[in-house]
Amino acid sequence: MNKEFDIIENYFSFSKATREVPITVGDDCAIFTPPFGHTHIATSADLLIEGQHFFSDVNPKNLGHKALAVNLSDLAAMGAEPIGCLLSLALPSIDQSWIAQFTEGFRNLSEKYMCPLIGGDLSKSKMGIIINVTVFGGLNVNFRRSATSAFMTRAGARAGDDIWVSGNLGKAHLAYTTKRDNPNDLAKYAMIFEALELPEPRIDLGKSLIRRATSCIDISDGLVQDLGHIMKSSKKTAEIHLEKIPYDKNLEKQFSKEQIREAILSGGDCYELCFTAPPENRAIIERLSDSLQLKLTRIGEVSWRFNIDRERRERVKRRQELRNKFEKNNYYVDTTPFTPIPHAQGKPRPPVEVYENGELIEVPNGGFQHF
């Protein structure tokens, strides 16, 4: 059995037709409708290439899990409910055992988050294993305010917002560098490999942040780099505090302070969420942490992109808080001039500033680089 259609029928036809997805794997196209109550479709795609995004000796089951997880993480960052996914796979040879393990990992995660496989493609590759996954999610959005503020995007952060991250950071990067630099240190890698090979998409958190967070992103390319994307889109500067960034303290037994610092600030392949939210939502987010049984840590605050005097900053901040309060109740009409970004004084600040014990420190350069 080595024909394409036989392989698809035996290994990739595990998702059954539903009311929302009446036509799935086996036809020329999949057909789906947004689930009841959803008004918009969110979609994202990621490409994973052997040697560039995963090691050649990775466990196939874990690779199947990760191939879908990294895409579901993008839906989580938008607060979307998974609807379905497409999988395109190019293999240098047909290894039925490898395919069976890969699809087992993929299927387990798709069933956990109700994201059925609804189509895709299978081909031969001369360049190693190539995986492409596209996901679709549903959003329930109303436009009582404005279209731009209705979605949880990278451009919504406001001066005075808190900056939060989920879970612990750094472990995936340390697993990657351990595997790359010390491939024979199996005991050390075994302690931390799950963070790299089996990331957990924060779907439930993302959905819960709708109308509570002002912006959100997954930090797959590193905290400083991805938080910087939010700040650039929002035209603000983030002030984060190194001592508040959460990580597993057991890492200190195996790695130096410098290695951990680099991992939590610039290490990639971490699929936790970083988001901003108004200070008045702190209690809500803390209760959300308890209900989801997921650590949510406040690591800093959003500030102006340009330096302004403290008195003016506090005055504008109070004005913004009043505006936020009334906008939340959908009846605020601004009849006086208001400038969201104060007049520039001097050079703009960087998108992200990192402080350690109150002192501004240099951030590791480069961000996350793939293999």
Residues annotated in a binding site for Mg(2+): 28, 44, 46, 74, 121, 218, 221
Query: What residue numbers does the annotated binding site for substrate cover?
Result: 53, 269, 368
Phi, psi of 158 (to 5 degrees): -125, 150
Q: What is the DSSP letter of 346?
A: S
Spatial CB neighbours of 247, under 8 Å, sequence gap ≥ 6: 168, 169, 170, 171, 260, 263, 264
Known binding-site positions for ATP = 120-121, 154, 220
Q: Are strands 215-218 and 273-277 parallel, antiparallel or unpaired?
A: antiparallel
| Residue numbers belonging to the annotated binding site | 28, 44, 46, 53, 74, 120-121, 154, 218, 220-221, 269, 368
Which residues have CB under 8 Å from 111's CB, separation 6+?
Answer: none
Place of tokens 């000796």: 57
* Interatomic CA distance for residues 238 and 362, integer angstroms: 14
HSE toward the beta carbon, residue 51, CA cutoff 13 A: 3
* Residue 12 · residue 103 · CB < 8 Å: yes
In whole angstroms, what is the distance from residue 92 CA to residue 303 CA?
50
Which positions ≥6 away from 225 have C-beta within 8 Å?
266, 268, 367, 368
Which residues are CB-neighbours of 370 under 8 A, at least 6 positions away? 52, 53, 268
| CB within 8 Å of 5: residues ≥ 6 apart | none
Q: Residue 131 pairs with which residues in a beta bridge?
A: 48, 89
